[in-house]
Amino acid sequence: MNTRREFLQKISGSAFGLTVLPTIASASCANLPGEVNEGRVLNVAILGLGGYATRVAAAMVNCKRAKLTGLISGTPEKIKAWQAKYNIPDKNCYNYENYDAIKNNPDIDAVYVITPNALHKEEVIRVAAAGKHAISEKPMTISVKDGEEMIEACKKANVKLLVGYRMHFEPHTLEIIRMRNAGEFGKITFFQGLSGFVIGDTKQWRLNPKLSGGGSMMDIGIYSVNGSRYMVGEDPIWVNAVETKNDPVKFVQGIDETIQFQMGFPSGAVASCLSTYSMNWLDRFFLDGLNGFAELHPATGYDPTTGLTHKGPLNLPNTIHQAVQMDEMAAIIFDGKKPIVPVDGEEALKDLKVIEGIYKSAQSGKTVNLQL
């Protein structure tokens, strides 16, 4: 049987050909004090040692309640390099064929799946079967059906299924949610979400529909989908969408280049959003109410988040998103903490339902009603 690594190389050329991301500074971006400083430490294995995993591992050095204790990869050279950097013992290192053996490893409480989207389902189900908590990078998977199966598998195994929604713990984002809940914006009327960049390497897995399950919507547009829900404070009930494809060679069938989509909410609020792989500098959320407004720009990127409301700039601490996320996930798993914005499988399933509605609308040219 071919290894998972060979499979990825065969259909995508370089599934893990990501540029190593810059080292994350810790001095000016420490975790917020007094949040989740005490309690049991979550021992985490990372499955898939690509570019984003590099960022997560670097961030976890700053965690108070989460620790990198295991590695799962199809590349022995990567494992050796990561072992040396993070002091991971041989007994906590696995490949894609044998990682079911984590079931018998008390050094691992949870596995963070950071692989191409289409692989999340099988990997999360295997993690759950091994009795470990599963953390899936977003999107949780590539279809609603697969998401439902993942949720069911984790429930059956009595383990948590969490998703890497790092912005759900970001201070500027949470302050805007607090202000909205306090009525400081008045009735919410409108949300705008702009999510996009010019994608590079044409051989990367994000441009392979068998691995990504879609294009810009699955990768970056999901931020505007998810952001609309936590900014407005409601789930959409309808969506319509239009796809634009200017480069069908780069963006093959099944890989969306640019999608403009609108959503409607039960209160009457509406949203207008853009997801693209062919425009730069698009990372902005704008929330409008009858009595005020809020803006995040950048809204979801790795650079320091900045916020502005009708009352002035939001001068809040900048955090290492992934470090705060992992500390908070330890509190969710061990303490039963309820985050202000959920990060569980059910939350992720709602985003997948919206995205499926967006794709359906773009294909049919009709408005699609949603039931989340």
> Which domain, by its residues, includes 130?
4-166
10 Å Cβ neighbour count for 371? 7
Query: Can you give the CATH number for the domain in which 180 is found?
Result: 3.30.360.10
In a shared domain, residues 208 and 142: no
User: What's at 268, amino acid-wise?
Assistant: G
Query: CA-to-CA distance for 274 and 65, rounded, in angstroms?
Result: 36
Tokens representing 256 are 């969306």
Task: Verify whether residue 353 is a known catalytic residue.
Answer: no
The DSSP output letter for 120 is H
Task: List, for residues 210-266, the tens digit of each pLDDT value.
Answer: 999 999 999 999 999 999 999 999 999 999 999 999 999 999 999 999 999 999 999
CA-to-CA distance for 206 and 201, rounded, in angstroms? 9
Q: pTM of the entire structure?
A: 0.91
- The CATH number covering residue 106 comes to 3.40.50.720
Spatial separation of the C-alpha atoms in residues 109 and 160, rounded to whole Å: 11
Q: What are the tens digits of pLDDT across the range 283-332? A: 999 999 999 999 999 999 998 999 999 999 999 999 999 999 999 999 99
- How many domains are there within the chain? 2
User: Given 64, 138, 160, 350, which residue is catalytic?
Assistant: 138
117 and 152 housed in the same domain:
yes
Q: State residue 276 phi and psi, 5-degree precision.
A: -155, 150
Whether the bond into 139 is cis, omega within 30 of 0: yes
64 is catalytic: no
Q: Is 255 helix (H, G, I), strand (E, B) or coil?
A: coil
| CA distances in angstroms from 326 to 1, 26, 64, 112, 321, listed in the order given | 35, 15, 9, 10, 9
- 282-309 b/e (C-beta count within 10 Å ≥ 16 → b): bbbbbbbbeebbbbbebbbebeebbbbb
Catalytic residue among 99, 223, 230, 277: 223
